A and B are shown apart, each in its own frame.
Chain A
């Protein structure tokens, strides 16, 4: 697997991916009263005690750190659903189960900051970890079967998984391309990400900072 610390081969660090995931919306139950917040990305609120509202994850975490809200874990993050997903992942070798694009990051953030809001926290955590392991293993094995193609399509791959395989896949595709057309030799090192977009059609969001 490609090392993430090397900027040449990894596009984003895990922190950066997490940062992008913080734009996902999540439901919180505030315990304070506050007027609506107007952000560039939209208006959130008003915040009324005990009335659930949707906010970006980063805001939820910030409020949670100050003890101003409880985060409601998303629907998919229930023991039943995760158990089902895990079974599905184990049963079907080729395909991936539908999970949010940022499931790794969201669950990581919630486990870190809102552990008291997640029922059966340990169970959920171990399930998510299992799912992640199974999926990454699957990604690796499917990459072994990788042969000369110009594009790879894997539905339901999540951001973190894409990020891990992106450099390798990119370079591998470049290499295939190079071998196919020896006369046009692109500079692999200068444009590692350029033409290849693996899997998910999710548009890349520009960084905020």
Chain B
């Protein structure tokens, strides 16, 4: 029997939504037996992606977290999706220190290091979609 997935989604348009999204993420991780370091890492990844939605996508976007939980292992899928301007050069955006808005430019590359799997697709004029996986143990 496959257990029902635990799903949380947050519409992100302002900074308050970012705070809510990462709180939800942390609670979700702790609820499914992830350690505090992993929960903190996931919350930070959510914070980075959500803040990017606020800063770089005019109309914000959606953060969705889905947990597949089994006794021996669990995985949280984090999806960030928007219909914003898209990213013209993904290679550049994934570089440490690259920012178009005066940030530190470590949001995307940092997030990739925080999670177990990371995939980004972006289409100029149509939007950006990022999928991350965080595993337990």
Q: Do A and B bind each other?
A: no
Taking Cβ atoms with an 8 Å cutoff, the residues of B that contact A are none
Interface residue ranges, A against B (CB under 8 Å): none
